[in-house]
Amino acid sequence: MVTDMTNLTARQIPLIRHQHFMFYVGLWFWLAIFSVSELRSGIWGQYLDALLYVGVCVSPALVFAYFKPFLLGRLSGKKYLIYWGLCFLVLMPLCCLGFSFLRPEANGAQPFYTIAVWVVGLEILLAGNEYFSRRGKHMKWIKKIGLENAVLTTIIFIALMLSVMAVSSLNNPKYHSEERLLIGFEFDLSKLAANFFTFLSFFAQFLLMYLAGYLLFIVNSRILVPVMLKTNGLLVYTLSLLTAVAILYPVLAQLLSILPLYKLFGSKLFMINPFDLENAASAIGIMLLSLPVIVSLHWVKQSHQVLLLEKEKSQAELGLLKQQLNPHFFFNTLNNLYALSLKKSDQTSESILKLSDLMRYTVYKGEEKTVNIDQEIKYLDDYIDLQRIRLKYTLTFNFEKDIRHSPDLEIAPMLLIVLVENAFKHGIEPAEKAAFLKLSLYVEDGALNFVCENSMEADGLDEAKGIGLDNLRKRLLLLYPDAHRLTTSVENNLFRAELYLRIG
């Protein structure tokens, strides 16, 4: 027996299939941590109690998340929602109430409504992510922000939050004394309204303080890393960084040292002397801490450009492979029509109509990225009907198909037809006696399995591995890398080809 196989690895990654389950495990531990984060004694005992209590409460969600891939592949949308409601709206409350009744002392770990809010919130977040990713809109808005805009947005948010907490801490003996004001984790809307102009002053000063650091980040991101480090090496980058800091830090330190904010907070960060070397160390620290992030982003950008070039090359190769495949198909079907016209068969008109449908599918659907599995099956049926008409000998034909579990599956067009064409060209058409062809197509849980078995003459093995199968392997490598398996074998004048695709 001769066997040829391309390895498949995508179905061997269980963490990807159960990632939602892992996220719920993380939420379980975080909720337990929140319960003991402010304790000062008996911490581990309380933590284990909280872990047990929260674990019982979220256990229905954990079980549901673990089996979610199975449920999505087997249940209709309505049945899935019923299971979801049973889990989150019935079983979760029952588990929490039951545990609270048996262990009332554990109720302080986390109130049930807090656990419910976090669990349902995570479920909604994951569902929204799945919805947008299936439609090709997976976090596109984040990709458009860019690193510099993201840092600037973060700076504005931090300045805003610090200003709110600083105003909320005013006149609070716990934080505010004659010497200084400490920023507490406080949010007092009444104080914010009463001291609104103070809030604006704090916000402007905090923003200016962080923008000084942002200026250093911009110099590092736009000049030092892409020009000095990337082009001239580490030594030139280091000397350029020291030069930039020497020019900028005294001016920035002097500017920040005169802010009223520093007197209010009793800060000695910038000292009286703006040339103090601690200020230089702070500036150098900002640049060095941002260096790994900037280098990583530049590397990702460059890798993305390389991937785009490889994708364009793959698309060009794929188009060439389709051009090689389509003429072969046209020649075969035109030969069928010619044979019918010679026999003046009553089936000629019907065959012309089928040929028209096949050509339309090849020209239009063949250019699409994916087609519905039903369309591909009809294409196979029409092709086989045309081929059977011109055969000299009887063909025993059987086509078993089951797509009930994934009727909406989308696959690349004109993949399966290659195996059927190969069977007719090298096994069935040259036969000097009755031949047979058996096809089976099964789709389940995002996986497609297609088997084509046909009789063939003893001397037809070498021809059976022609350009059609070579092109199919190349297309599979381009379209489904690491997510397919193509096996061919010959035994006792039986040629067998099996194609496995992991799509979901």
Condensed to tens digits (0 to 9), the pLDDT of residues 354-387 reads 778 877 887 777 778 888 999 999 989 988 887 7
Q: Is the pLDDT of residue 41 over 80?
A: no
Q: Identify the pLDDT of residue 113.
A: 73
Question: Mean pLDDT lowest for which of 111-120, 211-220, 459-468?
Answer: 459-468
Question: Mean pLDDT lowest for which of 167-181, 344-358, 406-420?
Answer: 344-358
- Average pLDDT score over residue span 36-42: 75
CB atoms near residue 460 (< 10 Å): 17
d(CA 49, CA 103): 10
Q: Identify the pLDDT of residue 408.
A: 84
Which one is predicted more confidently, 376 or 73?
A: 376
Q: Is the pLDDT of residue 174 over 50?
A: yes
Number of H helices, E strands in the chain: 20, 7
d(CA 489, CA 5): 10
| Length of the chain measured in residues | 504
Question: Mean pLDDT lowest for which of 19-28, 92-101, 302-311, 326-335?
Answer: 326-335
Question: Mean pLDDT lowest for which of 83-97, 178-192, 305-319?
Answer: 305-319
Q: Identify the pLDDT of residue 313.
A: 62
Which one is predicted more confidently, 316 or 14?
A: 316
User: Residue 169 in contact with residue 175, Cβ under 8 Å?
Assistant: yes
- Average pLDDT score over residue span 101-122: 71
Q: Identify the pLDDT of residue 391.
A: 76
**Can you read off the two tokens belonging to residue 373?**
């599995």
Q: Identify the pLDDT of residue 497.
A: 93
Q: Identify the pLDDT of residue 7.
A: 37
Percent pLDDT > 90 in the chain is 10
- Average pLDDT score over residue span 145-170: 83
Q: Identify the pLDDT of residue 329.
A: 56
Which one is predicted more confidently, 244 or 111?
A: 244
Domains and CATH numbers, the chain: 12-139 (no CATH), 146-275 (no CATH), 307-502 (3.30.565.10)
**267 pLDDT band (50/70/90 cuts)?**
low
Sign of the C-alpha dihedral, residues 322, 352, 354, 388?
negative
- Average pLDDT score over residue span 200-226: 89
Which one is predicted more confidently, 419 or 151?
A: 419
pTM of the predicted structure, to 2 decimals: 0.45
Average per-residue pLDDT for the chain = 79
- Average pLDDT score over residue span 445-456: 90
Which one is predicted more confidently, 240 or 321?
A: 240
Q: Is the pLDDT of residue 414 over 60?
A: yes
Question: Mean pLDDT lowest for which of 32-41, 163-172, 234-243?
Answer: 32-41
Q: Which residues contact 82 (CB under 8 A, 6 or more apart)?
A: none
Sign of the C-alpha dihedral, residues 142, 145, 150, 152?
negative
**317 pLDDT band (50/70/90 cuts)?**
low
CA-angle at 141, arms to 139 and 146, nearest 5°: 110
Radius of gyration from C-alpha coordinates of the chain: 34
Question: Mean pLDDT lowest for which of 258-262, 338-342, 409-413?
Answer: 338-342
- Average pLDDT score over residue span 21-50: 84
In Å, what is the CA distance from 220 to each residue of 230, 381, 417? 12, 63, 56
d(CA 365, CA 369): 8
User: Residue 102 in contact with residue 44, Cβ under 8 Å?
Assistant: no
- Average pLDDT score over residue span 53-62: 89
- Average pLDDT score over residue span 130-139: 58
For residue 311, give the amino acid letter. Answer: K
